[in-house]
Structure formats: C-alpha cells, structure tokens
Amino acid sequence: MSPLVSWRSVSTATRWVLCLLLVMTMGTASRELPGNGIVLWNGPKQVDLYVGEHPALQALAEQPTFNWIGENTEPRTVATWARAAKGTSVPLVLYGIPGRDLGRHSAGGFANSEDYLAWVGAVAHHLGDAPAMIVVEPDALGQSLEMSAEEREARLRTLRIAVDILKENCPEARVYLDASMWVSPGTMADLLHRANVGRADGFSLNVAGHADDRSAFEYGDTLSAMTGDKQYVVDTSRNGAAGADESEWCNASGLGLGRRPGTLVVQHPRVDGLFWIKTPGVSDGTCNGGPPAGTFWLPKALELASNAAL
C-alpha cells in the first residue's frame, strides 16, 4: 500500500519521515512550464445549483474557477478531478497551512507542518503528471509578518518544502506562491525568495481581493523584476466594478466580476493570465452579513453578476 495514499492512517512521525524521504530524493534543478494558452478545467461548482432559477448566474457557471482544498479534503479527490479534466489543467488552491488566517474568518489548517506536508505529498501523488495550476496558500506569506521571527521561519520552511514536493512530483503543474499586495514589493520579494519562488513558476496576486487590474500589473511587474523576472497570475474574480472601496476586503459591497479566466495581457508579458482564483459568490466569512467562509452566498453572487465587467 502506498504511504501517500494512506496518509490519514499513519502516525505523525511516520508522515514526517515520508515527507523527508520525498524531499531527499528530489533534484535541485528548477523546471518551469510555459504559461501561455493554459486551458483550465471547468468542473462542477456550487453556483450550478442556482442557475436554473437565476439565469444571470450563467456568467459564473460557464467560466472555470479554482478548487480550494485543505485539511478536510481527501487527496484522492484530486485524482478524480484530474481524470475528469481530460488533459485540461486542474485549477487548485492549497489552503491548509498550519495557523491559517491567523485565527480569523478562515481559521483552521493542519495542526502542524509534518501533517501538512504529508498531505501535500499525498495531493502531489494523486495529481501525478496531470496538467494543473496550483496557487499555494493565499495570505500565508503576507500574514507571516505578524508572526514571531521563529514562527515566520517555520512557515517559510514549510512553504519551501511544499514547493519542492509539488515541482518534483507534478511535472506538468504550474506552481504559484501567493503574494500579498498590501506588503511592499521589497519585503514581499524577500519573503518569496525565502519561500522558494526560485523553484516555483511564479506568484499569484489579488487572490480574494478586488484591486483593479492596473494596480495589480504595476505591483506585479515590480515584484517580478525583484524575483528574477518570475511570471505571475492575477485574480480578477471580483475586481470588475470601478470605484469599489479597496479598504474593505471582507464581503465588500458593490463588487463585480472582472475579466474572464485565461485572458492574456500583451502589454504585460510577465502575466501568465487573469483567472478567477477566488470562487465568485463564496463568502469571505461572517462579516458584513455573510455566512461562514467558503459558503456560497446567493445575494453576493447575483451582485457580482450584475456588476460584471467581462
């Protein structure tokens, strides 16, 4: 029996040993994949249940969005998605880092780095050589600045190993470490370097945010120049409404769908594409009248559709 397949059944110590063995067998060369022309798998989504009654939501249903997975996701699920994708890229967000969201609306994650990395290994095993786009741990780097130096270094080490595991075991996956636009480019570049962006394919921006495209490109191009001209992707799932209040991030009002997933921007060649990384219509948490984080919220989905700038 593969230890990766049976990751839930083994002890924490065994998981950590297996994770170390994975890393020890890895090469050190970085293999980056070309980003242009990526076709994402458009799998089943929560919004599909509402389209019949609300035709305006077809705009959400017909576009691919990323699948967020964490401590409650059985890694075998990823293999099921890869088979269903039939050669298109499986869009994934890893969201299970220990201390996730620092106890805020999306609090949770694995109890420790050993269990987390064993789970990353299991996900990588089940994804295998299927094409994929993987965003690694939204906000984990930005929020690490609120941690003690010791805690921050532990998190950066965890992310370094996670990137190694994914790049070594998933040869057709593009891997992006998440970068937080509220952090200065210089500070974020240092965090990215320490988290192994050199081996990743690039970084992601504006995940679950609503900064306009121009702001994202300005920040992204600056950050790319500081990280060896790394490529990046931008989340446009809810940045289509001009004039939205960028100071309010949690279930902000007046947002709209941004440009369609897969859009390329010729003026910014470091952009691998614009994508809907945050699932449109999913709540940020119990703020501004919203349900718990990750729950589909029909009024918010209808608002995004009505304010869309596709």
Q: Determine the 3-state secondary structure of 97 from DSSP.
A: coil
The tokens 């401590």 sit on which residue?
A: 71
Considering 48, 129, 139, 245, which one is annotated as catalytic? 139
CB atoms within 10 A of CB 268: 17
C-alpha 310/C-alpha 259 separation (Å) is 4
DSSP secondary structure code for residue 93 in this structure: E
The tokens 């869009």 sit on which residue?
A: 91
Q: Determine the 3-state secondary structure of 175 from DSSP.
A: strand
Crossing angle between the packed helical segments 76-85 and 113-127, to the nearest 10 degrees? 30
Catalytic status, residue 178: no
Catalytic status, residue 139: yes
Structural tokens at position 267: 């003026």
Considering 164, 213, 272, 284, which one is annotated as catalytic? 284
Q: Determine the 3-state secondary structure of 213 from DSSP.
A: helix
Backbone angle region of 285, left / alpha / beta, with phi > 0 → left and psi within -120 to 50 → alpha: left
DSSP secondary structure code for residue 278 in this structure: S
DSSP secondary structure code for residue 287 in this structure: S
C-alpha 78/C-alpha 38 separation (Å) is 19
∠ CA 197-247-291, rounded to 5°: 90
C-alpha 207/C-alpha 205 separation (Å) is 6
CA distances for 148 relative to 106, 144, 214, angstroms: 20, 8, 33
Considering 101, 178, 235, 272, which one is annotated as catalytic? 101
Catalytic status, residue 221: no
Looking at the annotation, which residues are catalytic?
A: 101, 139, 284
